[in-house]
């Protein structure tokens, strides 16, 4: 009897304790065994008998030690206890694309993040006691990579979950052809078949990655507050050593970018050429580049500081001494003779510029310690080899991409509505038209231009431009100008959820209006149109070569077009009028706007109808016949009329107006299919 009672006591103790917990607006049944680093949750109403959940818990618990031993490491402590949710909830929204998913969750607050497995087992309608636990092991395996490594691949969860739950199944063998047929598992198949990678190698590599993470030796310094996160390049390097082979081609089969795969090389007294990723990357080291031989590596930083053009951000890389981190302000190693890097560039899919326009940038720091980016000397694209070359003078952060151009179009500051800039590009020149008001509140305009990126210590995204005000002599038909102020732009932004989101900070000084004050404006695109794309793109700065001194700016998005005409009144003073139309109409009505000068009290604006303009564009949108009639002042007979103007664009066609969903044959650096539906250590989808 005693032994029977003792056995009963043991059996009861082996059952997980059940409790109730409220998270947000939902109530959960919770099961957890004392001492376990995980708990299971079922949102109420919980459509599963308690006995079924207890059986599921016990089976999961029986497999877990073997899974942890397979990897050699467990989930990092800061993510424990792991929450395993069995049905959908606000914590675990149902994802129709996934059987389950793993992520780092902050539903308990930023200071109490948790590893989260969302399994939706109850929604499947099958008895929990009969589940085989491949899914639960798979998703837990993802959590093991979080924080200690930049990515959580599908390779190891597929392999380990089948190896633990059903080792005789064909999916327990990564050399199986199934793994070759999926982009998101192809690397592990090639690592197995071509390089002889074994489970023991994976375990050894993950243990070393964890050691680096815990010791603060991982390459990524700011991805976790409890360690330094490791990278794909570090994992690839470990696999190289363990298999005594170059495994980079295997990673290429999964769609990984060569910069993510990385490479190692030596710089010293001897000349050498290093290649990686089937020749997609090459480093040529000249003789005597350093007095002593030093080991270096190329790796992918997590992010960048300073203004790095959005067209270069996906192609960001760092050259650091072996064991270095991605901190951009670490002391640089200056090469006595520059080393040359050759990259087969990936096209940047959001603006479709030709590869011949690509350049390489280096991150520098000004005297105040602020970082900025500038082009590397002798950066060039070789059309014969298809390689982008650059001479790298030192270690540090680099990036490549399409040569940066300022965004084109009309911009305004919502806090200073009524004032605005038109910004355009012509080759490497940026030119702008400021539409503002004089001290009487009458509309005036100023124009200026400069080379893009002419501000020392501010990088290629900044430009300082002198603004000129013009005067027209009706008798002689001559135009004179005087400098009236300056503006300095700093561009930023990129592709957002609703399309291109390109903006600028503008510091404006106007001699006779702002005095010594600088007016800081936060510019954003003029909000109109449903998308940046349109049927015939005519946005730009237009003029009549036979009648210089006046002109107009056009901004067309979707079916809407905004026009600002700049002209002269009867006294020859510069004035402007604005209007808009739907592009299926031929005529654009124009209003004269009265407002307040920059630096004056904001008294609002008023508009009065002043005339109209009609267009007839050619099929390419690169020339137009126009008829213009504007009266100013409104109560006077003086008119600015041009009944037969022949207009051509002064500016280049605008970039950043295409719809990336319509681009063909161009991909981002890391295709989504090569990554798990799980999320990175900050819960961001990749």
Residues of the chain below pLDDT 70:
1-14, 497-498, 658-686
Residue 12: per-residue pLDDT: 42
The rounded radius of gyration (Å) of the Cα atoms in the chain is: 32
CB neighbours of 553 closer than 8 A, spacing ≥ 6?
Answer: 410, 422, 424, 433, 540, 541, 542, 563, 564, 566
pLDDT in tens, 121-152: 999 989 999 899 999 999 999 999 999 999 99
Residue ranges covered by each domain of the chain: 16-146, 257-402, 409-649
Residue 497: per-residue pLDDT: 66
Euclidean distance between CA atoms 381 and 401, whole angstroms: 11
User: Angle, to 10 degrees, between the axis of helix 134-145 and the axis of helix 50-71?
Assistant: 50
CB of 450 closer than 8 Å to CB of 430: yes
Residue 32: per-residue pLDDT: 97
Euclidean distance between CA atoms 131 and 545, whole angstroms: 77
Residue 148: per-residue pLDDT: 96
Angle at 379 between CA 250 and CA 291, to 5 degrees: 80
- Residue whose structure tokens are 């013009």: 470
Residue 205: per-residue pLDDT: 98
Does 418 sit behind a cis peptide bond, omega within 30 degrees of 0 on the bond before it? no
Residue 684: per-residue pLDDT: 22
Cβ count near 53 (within 10 Å): 23
Structure tokens given for 504:
């600028």
DSSP secondary structure letter of residue 679: B
Does 160 sit behind a cis peptide bond, omega within 30 degrees of 0 on the bond before it? no
Residue 662: per-residue pLDDT: 46
Helix boundaries (H) for 25-173: 50-71, 134-145, 155-165
CB of 237 closer than 8 Å to CB of 262: yes
Residue 655: per-residue pLDDT: 83
Euclidean distance between CA atoms 182 and 26, whole angstroms: 38
Structure tokens given for 59:
């089976």
- Residue whose structure tokens are 């940026």: 430
Residue 660: per-residue pLDDT: 52
Residue 6: per-residue pLDDT: 40
Structure tokens given for 290:
């350093």
CA–centroid distance for 429 within its chain:
26
Residue 349: per-residue pLDDT: 76
CB of 197 closer than 8 Å to CB of 242: yes
**For 70-88, b where at least 16 C-beta lie within 10 A, e where not — what string?**
bbbbbbbebbbebbbbbbb
Q: What CATH architecture is 257-402? A: Sandwich (2.60)
Euclidean distance between CA atoms 248 and 230, whole angstroms: 17
């Amino acid at each position: 009897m005693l032994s029977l009672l003792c056995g009963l006591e043991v059996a009861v103790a082996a059952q997980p304790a059940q409790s109730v917990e409220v998270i947000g607006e939902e109530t959960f049944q919770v099961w957890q065994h004392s001492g376990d680093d995980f708990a299971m949750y079922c949102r109420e109403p919980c459509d599963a008998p308690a006995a079924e959940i207890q059986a599921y818990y016990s089976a999961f618990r029986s497999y877990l030690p073997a899974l942890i031993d397979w990897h050699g490491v467990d989930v990092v402590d800061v993510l424990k206890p792991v929450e395993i949710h069995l049905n959908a909830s606000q914590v675990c929204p149902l994802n129709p694309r996934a059987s389950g998913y793993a992520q780092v969750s902050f539903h308990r607050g930023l200071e109490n993040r948790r590893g989260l497995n969302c399994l939706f087992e109850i929604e499947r309608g099958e008895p929990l006691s009969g589940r085989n636990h491949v899914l639960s092991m798979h998703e837990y395996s993802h959590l093991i990579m979080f924080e200690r490594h930049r990515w959580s691949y599908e390779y190891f969860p597929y392999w380990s979950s089948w190896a633990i739950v059903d080792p005789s199944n064909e999916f327990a063998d990564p050399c199986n052809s199934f793994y070759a047929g999926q982009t998101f598992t192809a690397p592990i198949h090639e690592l197995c078949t071509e390089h002889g990678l074994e489970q023991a190698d994976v375990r050894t590599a993950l243990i070393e990655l964890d050691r680096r993470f815990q010791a603060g030796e991982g390459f990524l310094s700011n991805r976790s507050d409890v360690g330094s996160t490791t990278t794909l390049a570090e994992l690839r390097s470990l696999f190289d050593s363990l298999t005594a082979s170059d495994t980079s081609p295997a990673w290429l089969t999964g769609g990984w970018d060569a910069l993510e795969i990385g490479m190692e090389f030596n710089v010293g007294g001897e000349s050498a050429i290093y290649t990686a990723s089937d020749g997609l990357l090459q480093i040529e080291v000249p003789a005597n580049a350093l007095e002593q031989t030093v080991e270096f590596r190329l790796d992918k930083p997590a992010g960048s500081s300073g203004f790095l053009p959005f067209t270069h951000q996906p192609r960001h890389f760092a050259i650091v001494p072996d064991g270095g981190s991605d901190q951009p302000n670490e002391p640089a190693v200056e090469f006595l003779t520059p080393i040359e890097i050759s990259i087969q560039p990936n096209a940047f899919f959001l603006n479709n510029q030709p590869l011949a326009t690509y350049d390489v940038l280096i991150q520098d720091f000004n005297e105040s310690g602020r970082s900025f980016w500038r082009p590397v000397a002798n950066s060039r694209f070789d059309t014969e080899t298809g390689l982008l070359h650059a001479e790298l003078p030192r270690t540090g952060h680099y990036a490549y991409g399409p040569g940066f151009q300022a965004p084109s179009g009309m911009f305004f500051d919502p806090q200073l509505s009524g004032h605005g800039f038109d910004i355009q590009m012509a080759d490497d020149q940026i030119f702008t038209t400021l539409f503002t008001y004089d001290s009487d509140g009458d509309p005036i305009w100023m124009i200026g231009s400069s080379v893009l990126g002419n501000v020392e210590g501010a990088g290629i995204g900044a430009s300082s431009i002198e603004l000129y005000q013009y005067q027209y002599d009706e008798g002689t038909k001559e135009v004179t100008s005087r400098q009236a102020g300056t503006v300095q732009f700093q561009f930023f932004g990129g592709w957002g959820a609703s399309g291109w989101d390109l903006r600028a900070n503008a510091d404006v000084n106007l001699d006779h209006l702002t005095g010594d004050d600088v007016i800081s404006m936060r510019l954003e695109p003029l909000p109109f149109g449903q998308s940046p794309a349109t049927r015939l793109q005519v946005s730009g700065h237009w003029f009549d070569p036979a009648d210089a001194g006046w002109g107009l700016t056009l901004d067309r998005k979707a079916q809407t077009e905004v026009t600002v005409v700049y002209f002269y009144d009867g006294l020859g003073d510069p004035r402007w009028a604005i209007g808009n139309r739907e592009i299926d109409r031929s005529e654009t009505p124009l209003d004269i706007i009265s407002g307040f000068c920059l630096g004056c009290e904001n008294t609002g604006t008023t508009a009065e109808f002043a005339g109209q303009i009609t267009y007839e564009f050619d099929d390419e949108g690169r020339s137009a016949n126009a008829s213009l009639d504007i009266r100013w002042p409104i109560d006077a007979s003086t008119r600015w009329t041009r009944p037969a103007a022949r207009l051509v664009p002064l500016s280049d066609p605008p970039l950043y107006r295409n719809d990336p969903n319509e681009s063909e044959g161009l991909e981002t650096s890391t295709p989504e299919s090569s990554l798990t539906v799980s999320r990175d250590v900050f819960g961001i989808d990749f």
